[in-house]
């Protein structure tokens, strides 16, 4: 057996280690975003899924990781570290975890690079997926929001564990031996917080005395700026366009051979996508903006496109990648983004494609009504992006359910991202479907009809509501991650159902009259087809 | 890659491999124990089973000519538990999830109906099939067995239940770390099969992923401590005679 690695093996090994490092960072950061991660299995190999795992690549994270690595690979004394820390709304911060990807000198010369090393790296990534949900920081990151956020920082070099406080614990995720050294992945995490239940931490802001190493200056020579795990404060990044991820689209078409086990045919081809699909790139740019539990409308005031992100994100991915990142709680597959500035048409097509059957009744409403933005803004209230985000957006200076003439609501003065898409017919009371229900709508179910004319346009006609401003609505016993339409949104949506069109006098009478008129014709038609009906009934028996 | 051994060496290699295989056929056995409240049984078992299967599943194999094959992609998803402060990762395969939920549901019902001390265990066994000539049936040779022992406790107050939620969550975190530790030892795994042998090593019945052949069974221990075997065999494809 050869002991020296031939050049092809060496190249392959370096590539594996590089992409393993990048994927490791992706897994860790995505696990701290505060959302459930979901990717799809695909039975046919796509060629772009490294280690046969569907792990999405967030371009910003890849960019940061590459910046930290600067073309190097983890080696002895040079480890790649991902630091996860917590920052409160008052500005205090604290390191929670350090994930280290290290290389030591212990070599395994016998192992087959293209086969065993690859599979073991894949197994190690699976272990990482499991372990990232198990450290104390996970539960903290799931609850991040207006009280604190989780930040990440990537650095390369020596591991620095000083910031973790005393008595930190270590968990080893796994090791993989290679002919050039043994790769080790481990995590050191602070346990001070372990004694405080996560609920306690939420309720009371950290008291200065307890956490001693709050204001430790970071003496790291290679200190890189912290990045939020939820992309909330990426003010510096909003203008930056990240290079489309050419490298991670380097196709890894591994084929393995089963004819005598020592003979492995392994091909790694580079397939540079000529034109990276614009939808994917752009939407991935700030992919999680909408998923952040942010209560600051300002963060989302960049434009209506932001709110579209979670949806377009899923839609874009669906079209261009076989695996989609779904956030089940937010039902990212539901198409309801208002017009996106640049990618309207493309996203429109994909929108329909990703309409999930469980939303059957609502889906019918949304795609066809691009001009009926009231529908869109209304049903979006009902569904995707974190509902608490939308709650704040729909805080109006006038009470949410106020029964005031619509033209008093000056949309321009409101900080609503949808403002530019707010239907023009909102400004005219006459065109308001709430005030004047549409004439016998052609294809409607009663449910659809009520949704079309509900809510965001203002109070329902005929209901007198007191003025109040609804800021945050968290109904008791509700959870926000099970169904797309949770209790809060359900309650809001059905709080003010419109009048049944058949009950309003003129329309009701009108349609009733029409019905009565058309009765004789209908009867005549039915009588003609009596034979068919009888035959049908017989088949049922 | 490396040079091919000549015929003489090849024979030597073969015999050594056979011996090595036989030696490693000792089945690896891991035991985990959890104490949970009745309503937590299902989620705790699913968390453990899914974590093990995450590590023991690959993408679907697609064989091409010349004996090479490529592997499909495995997706993952997070699952939040309702009765435990815990989230686990499972393979994105609805079929697999359904199969596990079914057998875990049966285990939970059996536990509930046993009326005993609430002691039971589930076993997840990975095995290889070895074809025998007629009239002998195929052998199932286990190479790894995971046993999860469950002790069901009954709690009186809501406060105890709340504490239990957190405690069991922490315990499960420890179990996941234990599982990952075992997986990381890179001990014996069946070697990658040729196309004709694929069904002897992997469960090819699922649409989107390919776990190693496995079967799940459970036992309930009654009040007297003797085991009342309520064994459920999970039938894999069309095999398993008798």
Q: How confident is the model at residue B24 (pLDDT cuts 50, 70, 90)?
A: very low
Q: Could you give the residue ranges of the DSSP H alpha helices within A496-529?
A: 505-528
Cβ-defined contact of B193 to A258 (cutoff 8 Å): yes
Q: Which of B75, B92, B207 is the best substitution to test chain A (most A C-beta atoms within 10 A)? A: B75
Q: Higher confidence at residue A316 or residue B98?
A: B98
CB within 8 Å: B67 and A131: no
Contacts of residue B205, Cβ cutoff 8 Å, sequence gap at least 6: B236, B237
Enumerate the residues of chain A whose CB falls inside 8 A of the CB of residue B208.
41-43
Cα A376 to Cα A373: distance, rounded to the nearest angstrom: 5
**What's chain A's Rg over C-alpha atoms?**
28
Least CB–CB distance from B208: residue in A43, A53, A197: A43
Cα separation, B38 vs B111, whole angstroms: 9
* Sign of the CA dihedral running B4, B7, B13, B19: positive
**B76 beta partners:** B91
Count other Cβ atoms within 10 Å, centred on residue A516: 9
Closest CA in chain B for residue A185: B184
pLDDT of residue B224: 53
| Pair B123, A71: CB distance under 8 Å | no
pLDDT value for A490: 75
pTM across the whole model = 0.58
Contact list in B for residue A258 (CB cut-off 8 A) is 63, 67-69, 192-195
Tell me whether strands A148-157 and B210-211 are parallel, antiparallel or unpaired: unpaired
Residue A205 to residue B149: CA distance in whole angstroms: 40
Two tokens at A338? 């208002």
User: Are the Cβ atoms of A41 and B92 closer than 8 angstroms?
Assistant: yes
A261 contact residues in B (CB cutoff 8 A):
191-192
DSSP secondary structure code for residue A428 in this structure: -
Q: Spell out which residues of chain B touch residue A39, defining contact as CB-CB under 8 Å.
A: 75-77, 92
Q: Please, what is the end-to-end C-alpha distance for chain B in angstroms?
A: 45
What percent of chain B is helix, strand and coil (3-state, nearest 5)? 40, 30, 30
Query: Cis ω on the peptide bond leading into residue B135 (within 30° of 0)?
Result: yes
Cβ contacts of B51 on chain A, cutoff 8 Å: 130
Beta strand B139-153 pairing with B28-37: parallel
pLDDT tens digits for B114-138? Answer: 876 789 999 999 999 988 877 888 8
Q: Do A54 and B92 touch (CB under 8 A)?
A: yes
Q: Are B78 and B89 in contact (CB under 8 A)?
A: yes
Q: Is the pLDDT of residue B25 over 90?
A: no
Which strand (E) or helix (H) includes residue B127? strand B119-130
Contacts of A240 (CB under 8 A, 6+ apart): none
**Closest in B70, B92, B166 to A39, CB measured:** B92
What's the CA gap between B145 and B73, in Å, rounded?
26
Q: Which residues of B touch A97 (CB under 8 A)?
A: none
Structure tokens at A476: 């008791």
What does the alpha-carbon distance between residue A395 and residue A412 come to, in Å, rounded to a whole number?
14
Q: A336 or B195: whose pLDDT is higher?
A: B195
Residues of A in contact with B1 (CB under 8 A): 6, 8-9, 112, 114, 262-264, 266
CA B180 to chain A, closest CA, distance in angstroms equals: 6
CB contact under 8 A, A43 and B207: yes
Instruction: Check residue A257 and give its pLDDT.
Output: 62
- Cβ–Cβ contacts within 10 Å for residue B171, how many? 18
H helix intervals, A397-504: 446-452, 487-495
pLDDT at residue number A375: 36
DSSP H/E element including B30: strand B28-37
Q: Which residues in chain B are contacts of A130 at CB distance < 8 A?
A: 51, 54-55, 88-89, 176, 179-180
Alpha helix stretches (DSSP H) within A258-330: 278-285, 304-320
* Substitution target from B9, B73, B184, B201 for chain A, most A beta carbons within 10 A: B73
Q: What is the pLDDT of residue B70?
A: 87
Nearest to A130 among B70, B77, B176 (CB): B176
Which chain B positions have a beta carbon within 8 Å of A266's beta carbon? 1
Q: What are phi and psi of A453, to 5 degrees?
A: -115, 25
CA distance A182 to chain B (A): 13
Looking at residue B27, its pLDDT comes to: 84
Which residue in the block uniquely carries the two structure tokens 């036989």?
B22
Q: Is the dihedral of CA B109, B113, B117, B119 positive or negative?
A: negative
**A424 neighbors A377 (Cβ within 8 angstroms):** no
Residue in A40, A44, A255 closest to B75 by CB? A40
Cross-chain CB nearest to B74 (options A52, A173, A328): A52
Q: What is the pLDDT of residue A224?
A: 57
Q: Are A419 and A412 in contact (CB under 8 A)?
A: yes
- Which of A131, A172, A118 lies closest to A27 in space, CA to CA? A131
> Nearest-CA neighbor of A58 among A299, A309, A295, A332?
A309
Set of chain A residues whose Cβ sits within 8 Å of the Cβ of B176: 130-131, 133-134
Strands B76-80 and A181-189: unpaired
Our CA-based measurement puts residue B78 at a distance from the nearest CA of chain A, in whole angstroms, of 5
Q: Judge whether residue B92 has pLDDT over 60.
A: yes
Using the beta-carbon criterion (under 8 Å), do B1 and A322 form an inter-chain contact? no
Strands (E), A43-128: 79-88, 93-104
**Calpha distance A351→A337 (Å, rounded):** 8
**Mean pLDDT over residues B142-166, rounded?**
93
Shortest alpha-carbon distance between residue B184 and chain A (Å):
5
CA-nearest residue to B3 within chain A is: A1
**Looking at the DSSP assignment, which residues form a beta bridge with residue A171?**
A187
The three-class DSSP label of residue A332 is coil
CB A481 within 8 A of CB A488: no
Question: For A44, which residue in chain B has the nearest alpha carbon?
Answer: B72
Mutate to test the interface with B, among A41, A106, A331, A356 (most CBs of B within 10 A): A41
Judged by DSSP in three states, A188 sits in strand
Nearest by CB to residue B74, choosing from A44, A53, A481, is A53
Mean pLDDT of each 10-residue bin along chain A, 541 residues long: 69 92 95 93 82 93 92 89 91 91 88 85 96 94 90 91 87 92 94 51 40 39 60 38 44 54 38 38 35 35 36 35 36 37 39 37 37 37 38 40 44 48 46 46 42 39 50 62 64 75 62 81 89 90 81
Gap from A265 CA to chain B (nearest CA, Å): 7
Residues 6+ positions from A246 with CB-CB distance below 8 Å: A272, A273, A276
- Whether the per-residue pLDDT at B187 is higher than 70: the answer is yes
Close Cβ partners of B156 (under 8 Å, ≥ 6 residues apart): none
- Min Cα distance B137 → chain A (Å) is 26
Burial of A361 by CB count in 10 Å (0-12 exposed, 13-18 middle, 19+ buried)? exposed
Rounded Cα distance between B20 and A112, Å, is 18
What are the DSSP E strand ranges found in A388-526?
A: none
Q: What are phi and psi of B124, to 5 degrees?
A: -110, 115
Q: How far apart are CA A20 and CA A69, in angstroms?
A: 12
Exposed/middle/buried for residue B44 (C-beta within 10 Å: 0-12, 13-18, 19+): buried
Q: Say yes or no for a CB contact (<8 Å) between B78 and A37.
A: yes
**Hey, are the CB atoms on B180 and A255 less than 8 Å from each other?**
no
**Are B60 and A112 within 8 A, CB to CB?**
no
The separation between the first and the last C-alpha atoms of chain A, rounded to the nearest angstrom, is 77
> Which tokens in the block code for residue B3?
């040079």
User: Residue B92: which of A137, A97, A55 has the closest Cα?
Assistant: A55
Q: For position A15, what pLDDT does the model report?
A: 92
Backbone angles phi, psi at A460, to 5 degrees: -80, 145
Nearest CA in chain A to B76: A39
Nearest partner of A157 among A212, A70, A81, judged by Cα: A81
Nearest CB neighbour to A129, from listed B71, B76, B184: B76
* Closest CB to B67 among A38, A254, A259: A259
CB-CB neighbors (< 8 A) of B68 in chain A = 255-258, 265
**Structure tokens that stand for A294 in this block:** 């942010």
ipTM over 0.90 threshold: no
Nearest CA in chain A to B87: A133
Tokens 């995590």 sit on residue: A187
As a whole number of angstroms, the distance between CA A155 and CA A223 comes to 7
Q: Which among A273, A276, A300, A304 is positioned nearest to A288, based on CA atoms?
A: A300
Nearest CA to CA, how far is A422 from chain B (Å)? 36
Exposure string over A19-46, b if 16+ CB within 10 A, otherwise e: bbbbbbbbbbbbbbbbbbbbbbbbbebb
């Amino acid at each position: 057996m050869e002991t020296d690695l031939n050049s092809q093996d060496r190249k392959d090994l370096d590539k594996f280690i590089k992409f393993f490092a990048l994927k490791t960072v992706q897994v860790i950061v995505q696990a701290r975003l505060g959302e459930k991660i979901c990717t799809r299995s695909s039975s046919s190999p796509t060629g772009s899924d490294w280690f046969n795992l569907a792990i999405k690549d967030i371009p910003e994270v890849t960019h940061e990781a590459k910046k930290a690595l600067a073309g190097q690979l983890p080696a002895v004394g040079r480890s790649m570290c991902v630091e996860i820390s917590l920052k409160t709304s008052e500005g205090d911060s604290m390191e929670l975890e350090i994930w280290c990807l290290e290389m030591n000198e212990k070599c395994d010369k016998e192992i087959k690079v293209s086969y065993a090393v690859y599979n073991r790296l894949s197994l190690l990534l699976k272990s990482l997926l499991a372990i990232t949900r198990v450290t104390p920081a996970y539960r903290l990151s799931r609850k991040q929001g207006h009280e604190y956020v989780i930040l990440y920082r990537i650095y390369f070099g020596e591991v620095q564990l000083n910031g973790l406080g005393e008595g930190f614990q270590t968990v080893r995720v796994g090791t993989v031996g290679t002919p050039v050294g043994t790769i080790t992945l481990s995590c050191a995490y602070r346990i001070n917080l372990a004694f405080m239940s996560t609920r306690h931490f939420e309720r009371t802001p950290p008291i200065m005395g307890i956490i001693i190493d709050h204001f430790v200056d970071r003496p790291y020579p290679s200190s890189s700026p912290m990045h939020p795990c939820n992309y909330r404060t990426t003010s510096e990044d909003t203008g930056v366009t990240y290079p489309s991820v050419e490298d991670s689209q380097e196709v890894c078409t591994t084929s393995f051979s089963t004819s005598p086990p020592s003979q492995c045919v392994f091909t790694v081809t580079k397939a540079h996508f000529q034109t990276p699909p614009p939808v994917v790139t752009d939407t991935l740019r700030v992919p999680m903006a909408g998923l952040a539990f942010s209560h600051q409308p300002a963060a989302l005031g960049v434009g209506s496109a932001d709110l579209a992100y979670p949806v377009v994100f899923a839609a874009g991915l669906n079209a261009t990648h076989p695996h989609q990142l779904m956030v089940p709680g937010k039902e990212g597959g539901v198409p309801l983004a208002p017009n996106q500035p640049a990618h309207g048409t493309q996203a429109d097509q994909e929108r329909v494609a990703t309409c999930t059957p469980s939303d059957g009744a609502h889906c019918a409403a949304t795609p066809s009504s691009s001009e009926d933005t009231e529908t869109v803004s209304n049903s979006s209230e009902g569904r995707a992006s974190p509902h608490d985000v939308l709650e704040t957006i729909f805080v109006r200076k006038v009470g949410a359910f106020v029964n005031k003439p619509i033209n008093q609501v000056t949309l321009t003065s409101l900080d609503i991202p949808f403002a530019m898409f707010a239907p023009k017919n909102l400004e005219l009371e006459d065109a308001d479907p709430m005030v004047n229900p549409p004439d016998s709508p052609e294809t409607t179910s009663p449910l659809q009809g009520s949704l079309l004319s509900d809510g965001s346009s203002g109070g329902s006609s005929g209901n007198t509501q007191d003025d109040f401003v609804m800021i945050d609505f968290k109904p008791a016993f509700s959870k926000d991650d099970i169904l797309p339409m949770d209790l809060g949104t359900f309650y809001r949506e059905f709080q003010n159902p419109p009048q049944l069109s058949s009950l309003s006098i003129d329309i009701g009478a009108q349609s009733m009259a029409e019905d009565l008129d058309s009765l004789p014709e209908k009867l005549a038609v039915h009588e003609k087809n009596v034979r068919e009906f009888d035959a049908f009934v017989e088949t049922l028996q | 890659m490396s040079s091919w051994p000549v015929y003489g060496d090849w024979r030597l290699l073969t015999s050594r491999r056979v011996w090595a295989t036989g030696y490693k056929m000792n089945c690896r056995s891991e035991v985990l124990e959890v104490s949970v409240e009745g309503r937590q049984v299902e989620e705790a078992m699913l968390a453990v089973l899914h974590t093990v299967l995450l590590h023991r599943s690959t993408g679907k194999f697609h064989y091409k000519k010349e004996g090479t094959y490529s592997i499909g992609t495995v997706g993952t998803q997070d699952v939040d538990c309702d009765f435990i402060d815990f989230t686990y990762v499972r393979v994105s395969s609805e079929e697999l999830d359904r199969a596990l939920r079914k057998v875990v549901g049966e285990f939970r019902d059996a536990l509930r109906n046993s009326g005993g001390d609430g002691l039971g265990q589930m076993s997840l066994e990975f095995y290889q099939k070895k074809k025998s000539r007629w009239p002998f049936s195929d052998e199932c040779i286990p190479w790894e067995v995971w046993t999860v022992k469950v002790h069901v406790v009954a709690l009186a107050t809501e406060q105890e239940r709340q504490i239990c939620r957190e405690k069991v969550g922490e315990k499960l975190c420890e179990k996941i770390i234990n599982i990952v530790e075992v997986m990381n030892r890179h001990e014996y795994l069946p070697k990658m099969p040729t196309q004709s042998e694929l069904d002897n090593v992997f469960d090819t019945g699922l649409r989107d992923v390919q776990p190693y052949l496995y079967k799940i069974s459970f036992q309930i221990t009654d009040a007297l401590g003797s085991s009342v075997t309520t064994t459920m065999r999970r039938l894999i494809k069309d095999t398993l005679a008798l």
